[in-house]
Amino acid sequence: MGEAVISLRNVSKSFGEVLANDNVSMDIYKGEILSLLGENGSGKTTLMNMLSGIYYPDHGEIKVNGNVVNIREPKDAFACGIGMVHQHFKLVDVFTAAENVVVGIKQKGHFDLREVAHGIREICDRYGFVMDPDKKVYDMSVSEKQTLEIIKVIYRGADILILDEPTAVLTPQETDRLFNVIRNMKKDGKTVVIITHKLHEVLSISDRVAILRKGAYIDAVPTKDATEESLTEMMVGEKVELNIERPEVKDKKLRLKVEHLSCYNADGVQVLDDVSFDAYGGEILGIAGVSGNGQKELLESVAGLQNTMPGAKISYYAPDDSGEHELIGLTPRKIRELGVHLSFVPEDRLGMGLVGSMGMSENMMLKDYSEGHSIFTDNRKPRELAEQILKDLKVVTPGISTPVRRLSGGNVQKVLVGREIAASPAVLMTAYAVRGLDINTSYTIYRLLNEQKSKGVAVMYVGEDLDVLMELCDRILVLCGGKVSGILDGRSARKEEIGRLMTTYGGRKEKG
C-alpha cells in the first residue's frame, strides 16, 4: 500500500457546541485515490479544510511525509503540496483562465502570462484536460470552471489533490471525463482524495474508502471488498433499505397544463424558452437538468413568483372538477385566494421557504397568517401544527420556538415539507428536496412524496441525482438551456439518454 503521505492523529474541531470532527486518526497513502465517504454533516469537508488551511484544528496533529506540520493558511498547505478544489469555486469571473491560475501567487516582478499559458497547456496535455488559457471565467461552463480549479492547484505544485464533491454539478458524461483525468493523475504519481456521498462513484473510481460518521472516523476499506450495502451500513450506522418505492399510477388526472412558457431573469437573460408540459394528479413528474437550466424559474412561474413573457398559459384544473384557473399574472396570495392548493418547497429553504430567525411555530403560519379579520396573529393553530409535525416527522429541535436556522439541514427540510404537505395540496412542487440531507431523511422525503402521489396530488420533483429520478418518478422532463429537450418514461429511461438530453438542445419528443 506504500507510505502514508498524510497522517492525521486525534484531530478534533468544533464549532460552538457542534463537534464537527471527533478525534479523527487516519492515513492517506502515496499515489492512491481515496474516497472520503460520509453523510452530509459527517465532517468530511471540515476535516479536509484543516488540511488545506481553511480551518485550524482544536486538537491533534497533522503529519505530511512523516513531519509534523502546522497548516495555518492555504499557503502553508501549498508548501506541503496539498491543494483543494472546493465545492463552491473560488475564481475571479472577469479574469482569464491563465490570470486565475496565478492570482494570489507572490512573485517579484510581473507574471509572464504566455509562460503561464504554456504551463497550463502542458498540464492539459499530460492529464487530458481541455482548457483555453485565454478564456474568461464568465464564459465558462460549470465543468470548465472545475477543470480550471484543478489546473490551478496542479500548477501550484500540488501532489495531493482534494476534490470536494466534484461530481455534484456534472452530467454523467462530464463525470466520466473527470474520472479519466483522475486516473491519469494517479498514473503520474499524484494522490487524490475525493469527498463524496455517491456510492456508485466511490466504487468506480477509488482504491480505498474512508468512512466518517457524525464527525468520527469509522474505518477505511479497500474498494474491491466493499459493496453499496456495506458502505451504507458503515455510513449510517445501521442497515438501510436502498430501494425507492414507485407505486403504480392510478386515476391519472390532468391537473396543470403549462403552455409556451418563456421568461427572462433579472439580468435580462432568457432562462425559459417556450416550455410546454402537463402535470397529472397521481403521478410524480421528475424534472432533470444541469442546475441553472431554468428549473427554478419554471417552478416559480407556476407559484406566481416570476414575471413571464406574453403568450404563456398555465392552466390549473381543480381536483373537484370545479373548473379551470389561469395562473399567469396572479400573485401567490391571489392564487391561494382562488382556492388553488399549490404547495411549493423551494430550493432556498431558509432564504425563501422559511424564516430562519423564527421558530417552527411561527413558520407554520407563513402562508396563512393573514386569514381572518383580527389584527392579531392566531398563534394557537400554528403551535398545534408545529407540535404535530415535530411528532410525525421526528424533527430534532430543542423546541418549537427555537429559530429554525439553528436546526440541521435535514430538520429544516422536514419543517418545510411538513408545512407544505399539511396544507393538503393539489399540486406539490419540490426543488432539490433531498439536497444535503442524510440517507434516512432522504428516504422519509421520498416516502412523503409517494404518499402525496397516492392521494392524487400532482407532484413535481426537480432533482439532480439521476438515479433517484429514475427510481422515483413516473415521467422525467429534461430541461436544457431553458428548453424542454425531452420527456421520458421514468420506468424505461436510460441514464445515458437523460445525460445526453441534459446537454443537447431541441430533439423534443412526444409527451408520454
Partner 1 sequence: MAKAVKKEPFIRLAKRDTMPTAKKVAVRLISILAALIVCGLLIFAITGLNPLEVYSTMISGAFGTKTRIWSTVKEMTMLACIAIGLAPAFKMRFWNIGAEGQVLIGGIVTAGCMIYLKALPPVALFAVMLVGSTLAGALWGLLPAVFKAKWNTNETLFTLMMNYVAIQLTSFFVAKWENPYGSNTVGIINQNSQEGWFPSVMGTRYFISVVLVLLLAVLMFVYLKYTKHGYEISVVGESENTARYAGISVGWVVIRTMLLSGALCGMAGFMAVAGASHTISTSTAGGRGFTAIIVAWLAKFDSATMLLISLLLAFLQSGAGEIASKCKLNSYASEMITGIILFFILGSEFFINFKLILRGKKEKEG
Please, which residue, 77 or 195, has the CB nearer to partner 1?
Answer: 77
137 versus 330: smaller Cβ distance to partner 1: 330
Residue pair 178/166 in contact by the 8 Å Cβ criterion: yes
Q: By CB under 8 A, tell whether 426 contacts partner 1.
A: no
Of 15-23, 183-191, 273-281, 501-509, the window that binds partner 1 (rule: CB under 8 A) is: 15-23
- Which residue is it, cell 416559480? 300
Give the residue with the Cβ less far from partner 1, 157 or 222.
Answer: 157
CA distance 405 to 13: 21
- What is the rounded distance in angstroms from the CA atom of residue 405 to the CA atom of residue 358? 8
Distances (CA, A) of 367 to 319, 352, 379: 21, 12, 13
Does residue 16 touch partner 1 according to CB under 8 A? yes
The residues, any chain, with a CB within 8 Å of residue 485's CB and separated by 6 or more, are 478, 479, 501, 502, 504, 505, 506, 507, 508
Sign of CA dihedral 155, 161, 165, 166: positive
Q: Is 380 in the site for partner 1 (CB under 8 A)?
A: no
Q: Any idea how long the chain is?
A: 512
Taking the complex as a whole, the smallest distance from the CB of residue 295 to partner 1 amounts, in Å, to 16
What amino acid occupies position 58? Answer: D
Kindly tell me which of 331 and 388 has the beta carbon lying closer to partner 1: 331
Closest CA to 127 of 93, 153, 88, 97: 153
Between residues 333 and 495, which has the closer beta carbon with respect to partner 1? 333
Beta bridge partners of 489: 475
From the list 119, 172, 319, 356, which residue makes contact with partner 1 (rule: CB under 8 A)?
A: 356
Is residue 401 a contact residue for partner 1 (CB under 8 A)? no
The C-alpha atoms of residue 295 and residue 318 are separated, in whole angstroms, by 24
What is residue 203's three-state secondary structure? helix
One residue of 353, 410, 481, 482 binding partner 1 per CB under 8 A: 353
Which of 265, 276, 291, 377 lies at the binding interface for partner 1 (CB under 8 A)? 377
Size of the site for partner 1 (CB under 8 A): 48
Q: What's the closest the beta carbon of residue 405 comes to partner 1, in angstroms?
A: 9
Name the residue nearer to partner 1 (CB basis): 88 or 376: 376
- Distance in Å, CB of 365 to partner 1, minimum: 8
Q: What is the 3-state secondary structure (H, E, C) of 340-375?
A: CCEEEECCCHHHHHCCCCCCHHHHHCCCCCCCCCCC
Q: Does 265 bind partner 1 (CB under 8 A)?
A: no
Position among 369, 494, 507, 511 found at the interface with partner 1 (CB under 8 A): 369
Contacts with partner 1 in 51-110 (CB under 8 A)? 56, 58-59, 64-65, 67-72, 76-77, 79-80
Between 79 and 113, CB nearer to partner 1: 79
Rounded to 5 degrees, what are φ and ψ at 226?
-105, 155
User: What is the three-class DSSP state of 115?
Assistant: helix
Among 122, 229, 348, 451, which residue sits at the site for partner 1 (rule: CB under 8 A)? Answer: 348
Least separation in angstroms between residue 474's CB and partner 1 is: 27
Which residues between 326 and 345 bind partner 1 (CB under 8 A)? 331-333, 336, 344
Q: Show the DSSP H helices in 255-372 as ranges.
A: 295-303, 332-337, 360-364
Residue with cell 432564504: 351
Task: Please say which residue, 130 or 266, places its beta carbon nearer to partner 1.
Answer: 266
Q: Report if residue 250 touches partner 1, rule: CB under 8 A.
A: no
Q: Segment contacting partner 1 (CB under 8 A): 9-17, 116-124, 154-162, 245-253?
A: 9-17
Of 431, 437, 473, the closest CA to residue 453 belongs to 473
CA 83 to chain centre: 23
User: Could you say which of 375, 380, 391, 492 contacts partner 1 (CB under 8 A)?
Assistant: 375
Q: Considering the complex, what minimum distance in angstroms separates the CB of residue 432 from partner 1?
A: 16
Contacts of 144 (CB under 8 A, 6+ apart): 131, 135
State which residue, 157 or 237, has the beta carbon closest to partner 1.
157
d(CA 136, CA 129): 17
Stretch that binds partner 1, among 110-118, 195-203, 221-229, 348-356 (CB under 8 A): 348-356
Q: Closer to partner 1 by CB, 335 or 437: give it.
A: 335
Positions that interact with partner 1 (CB under 8 A): 14-18, 56, 58-59, 64-65, 67-72, 76-77, 79-80, 303, 305, 331-333, 336, 344, 346, 348, 350-358, 362, 365-367, 369-370, 374-377
